[in-house]
Chain A
Amino acid sequence: MTTADATLPADVRSARSGDRRARARLVVAALAVLVAVTGFLSLAVGATGFTPGTAARALMASLSGADTAGTLANVIVMEIRLPRTLLGLLVGAGLAMSGVVMQGLFRNPLADPALVGVSSGAALAAVMIIVAGGLLPSAFAVLPQPFMLPAAAFAGGLATTIALYRIATRNGRTSVATMLLAGIALGALSGALTGLAIYASDDQQLRDFTFWSLGSLAGGTLQKAVLTAPFILAALLAIPYLGDRLDGLLLGEAEAGHLGVEVQILKRVAIGLVALAVGGAVAAAGPIGFIGIVVPHLLRLVIGPRHRNLLLASALLGAALLVGADMVARTVVAPAELPIGIVTAILGAPFFLWLLLRQRALLDV
C-alpha cells in the first residue's frame, strides 16, 4: 500500500491490495515448489555422477527400512547429501527470515542478521577454539572434539547478542540506534581479539579459521543437522507470529505503541529469536553472507512489505537459494569443493548492487 493509493477510489484500492495478496499467495506457492525441487536436485546432483533415479531409489530404500546400508549410492545420498541438504534448508531459511526481522526492527532495508553481533562473537569463539583447543587438556574438553567448535560458536554468538542487548537497554527501553552503534564497537573488539588469536595461531590453524570463516555445509552430518534443527526451527516457527506487530513497527515505535504493539517485548523476543536462528546457522555452517539481505529485499519488491507473507516467502527462498548455492559449491570444481560463502558472495554481491542501482533509479535520488 503506497501513499499514492490513498487518493484512489476505495474499490480500486481493495482490488489492488487483493491483487497483491493473491500475488503473494502465488509467490509463496511457487517458492514452496521451488524448495521441493531444489531439495530433490540437491540429493540427486553431486560429484558422483549417478542418475537422479539411483538417488531416488537409494532414498526410497532407506526410508522403507530396506537393508541397503553401506552401498555407495546409499552412503552418498543418505550420509553426505541428505544431511547437507537438510542443513542447507534450515540455515538458508533461518538466515533469510532473520534478515526480514532485523530489517523490520531497524526499519532499514539494509539491516543484516549479523547486526545482532552473533557472527562476530561466533567468529571470535571459533578462532579461540581452533587456536587454543589443542592446548586444553582433554579433561577440560566438555564436549567431544567435533562439537567443540560449533558449540563455542553458538555460545559466543549468543553471549555477544546478550551483551549488545544489555548495552542498548536503559530503563526498560531498547534503543535500536544504540544497538547498531554498540554492535559496531563490539564487532571491532571481537575483530581485534580474533586478530590477536590469529596472530598467535600457526599456519594450519590460520587456514582452518580461514576456511571456517568462508562458510561451508561440508561438515553437514546428520548429527549436526539434528542438533542445529531445534534452534533454527524454534525461530522459524515463532517468528511468523511477530509478523503483524512488525508491520505496526514500520510506522515507527510510538505509532506501533498506539496500535497496541508491546514494542519492548517485541524487540526482546525478536532479537532473541534471531540470535537463536543465526547462532545455530553460524555454529553449523560458519558465517554465510548475503542470504539475509538479498532474499528479503528481492521479495519486498515482488510481494510488498507485509510481514506475514514476506517472512514465509523469505524462509522458502532462502532455503532454496542456499541449497542451490551449495550444489554449485560442490559440483563446479569437483572432485574438490568451494566454500559456500564464496558462492553466495559471487552470486549475491552483483545482484545486490543491481538492486541498489534499480532502487536509486526508482527513488531518483
Chain B
Amino acid sequence: MKTLLRLPGLAPLLAAAFIAAVPAAAAKDTTADTLTEKDRARVVSIGGSITEILYALGLQDRIVAVDTTSLYPPEALEENPNVGYMRALSAEGVLATEPGLIVAEPDSGPAEAIDQLKAASVPFLTVPDTPSPEGVLEKIAAVGEIMDREDDAGDLAAKVKADFAALDKETGKIDAPRKVLFILSAQGGRLLVAGKQTGADAIIRLAGGHNAVGDISGYKPISNEALIAAAPDAIVMMSRGDHSASADGILSHPAVAQTPAGKEKRLVVMDGLFLLGFGPRTPQAADALARALYPESGIAPLPERPWAAAETQ
C-alpha cells in the first residue's frame, strides 16, 4: 500500500507513455499553390488584419466566417458568423461554416483545434504578422498569394507603401519627439503599459514618438513611482477592443497627474484594431496618432483610401 503514494517512480514511465503515444506522422501543410478556386470561394478569416486585407482586395464575398478580432470594417462581424476568439477556436464550430480554406494569424489556436481542422482536410494557412511597415506589406502579399490575387495585392501593397512614405514625410515635420506611454488597461488603478517588442511600441515609433517605458519589454504592470519617473509627455489608450480600458479618469490617476502628460492633459484615445492591427490602415493610424501627439507641427492627414474610409471611433 505504501508504494501507492511513492509516485516519483511513475514519472519516467509517464514520460515514456506520452512519447509512445505521439504519432510520428506530421500533419501535411498546405501551400498556396495547391489551393483550388473552390477552396478560395469559402474563406474563414481569423485575425482582424487579415479580414481587413480581404475586404481591401474586394474579396469580402469569399468570407464565410470571421473571428471576434475582425472589427473592421464593421460589416465583417455583422454579415458573417463569428467563430469566437482566435486563440480559443472550436474545431467543429469552424467546420460547421463549411470552409474551403482557413487563413489565420500565427498565434491562432489551440493547437489541438488546428490539428483537427487539418485532419478534416481543410487547408489551414497562416500569414506572417510582424508589427512593422515591412510586416504589413508582407502580410498583404501573403494574403494575395493565398487568394491567387497577386496583382491586386501588389497594387494594394504599393499604395500602402506610398502611404508609409507619405507618413515618413509628415513625421519629418516633428521638431522634438515626445515621450509617449501606451496604457493597455487601468483596472482598479493598476496600469498595464506597453514596453518594447509590442505593437504599441512600433506604432508609437512610426508616429514619431519615443516609448516612455522603452526599457521594459512586453505588456507589464507599472508602479506609480516608475510611471512618474518615466515622465511621459502623452498617454495613448484604446477606445475599445479586447481590453475595455476606461480612458475617462486616467488623467486624474494620482501618478499620471504628476507627469507632463497629466499636467498638460495630453491623452489620445484611439480604436484598438486601427492602432495595433498592423494592416493596410496602419499608415493612417500612425498619421492620426502623430497629429494627436503633435497638434502644433502642422502634420497633414494622409490621402483618403477606400479601405480606410469606414467610420471608426
Chain A residues in the interface with B (C-beta under 8 A): 46-49, 70, 72, 75-76, 79-81, 142-147, 151, 154-155, 158, 162, 165, 199, 202-204, 207-208, 211, 216, 218-221, 223-224, 226-227, 265, 268-269, 271-272, 330, 333-337, 339
Contacts and interface: CB of A to CB of B under 8 A. Distances in A.
Contacts of B219: 202-203
Nearest to A337: B90
Contacts, number: 127
B92 A144 contact: no
B113 interface: yes
Contacts of B273: none
Closest 5 pairs (CB-CB, A-B): A336-B84, A335-B93, A47-B96, A337-B90, A75-B120
Given A219-B110, A336-B84, A155 B11 contact: yes
A145 B22 CA distance: 11
A260 to B, nearest CB: 16
A330 B18 contact: no
B176 interface: no
B4 A268 contact: yes
B116 interface: yes
Interface string B109-141: 011110110011100000000000000000000
A48 to B, nearest CB: 4
Contacts of B120: 72, 75-76, 79
A47 B90 contact: yes
A154 B7 CA distance: 12
Interface in B66-91: 68, 81-85, 87-91
A330 B22 contact: no
Contacts of B19: 143-144
Contact of A337 (B5, B11, B84, B218): B84
Given A335-B84, A335-B93, 10 more contacts: A47-B96, A48-B92, A49-B96, A80-B92, A144-B19, A199-B221, A227-B17, A227-B18, A268-B4, A330-B93
A151 B15 contact: yes
A297 B264 CA distance: 61
Nearest to B17: A227
A154 B4 CA distance: 16
Residue in B2, B23, B115 whose Cβ sees the most chain A Cβ within 10 Å? B115
Contact of B119 (A79, A144, A155): A79
Contacts of B121: 70, 75
A207 B14 CA distance: 28
Which of B23, B68, B91, B116 has most A Cβ within 10 Å?
Answer: B91
30 contacts: A47-B96, A48-B92, A75-B121, A76-B92, A76-B120, A79-B116, A80-B95, A144-B19, A145-B111, A146-B111, A146-B112, A151-B15, A151-B18, A154-B14, A155-B11, A162-B7, A204-B107, A207-B87, A211-B87, A221-B112, A221-B116, A227-B17, A265-B1, A271-B5, A272-B4, A335-B90, A336-B85, A336-B88, A337-B84, A339-B88
B157 interface: no
Interface residues of B, number: 46
A208 B87 contact: yes
Contacts of B87: 204, 207-208, 211
B21 A226 contact: yes
B95 A48 contact: yes
B113 to A, nearest CB: 6
B146 interface: no
Nearest to B85: A336
Interface of B: 1-2, 4-5, 7, 11, 14-15, 17-19, 21-23, 65, 68, 81-85, 87-97, 107, 110-113, 115-116, 119-121, 184, 218-219, 221
B200 to A, nearest CB: 11
Contacts of A165: 5
A335 B64 CA distance: 11
B199 to A, nearest CB: 10
B159 to A, nearest CB: 31
Nearest to B84: A336
A47 B92 contact: yes
B88 A211 contact: yes
A220 B91 CA distance: 11
A80 B95 CA distance: 10
A29 B65 CA distance: 44
Contacts of B93: 47, 330, 334-337
A219 B25 CA distance: 19
A162 B92 contact: no
A144 B7 CA distance: 22
Contacts of B119: 75, 79
B203 to A, nearest CB: 16
B309 to A, nearest CB: 29
B95 A336 contact: no
A72 B94 CA distance: 12
A46 B5 contact: no
B107 A47 contact: no
Nearest to B197: A202
B84 A218 contact: no
Nearest to A200: B220
Nearest to A202: B218
B5 A272 contact: yes
Contacts of B97: 335
Nearest to B90: A337
A144 B21 CA distance: 10
A106 B117 CA distance: 45
B174 to A, nearest CB: 29
A336 B90 contact: yes
B97 to A, nearest CB: 6
A336 B96 contact: no
Contact of B5 (A79, A162, A218): A162
B5 A147 contact: no
A154 B18 CA distance: 12
Contacts of A80: 91-92, 95, 116
B65 A335 contact: yes
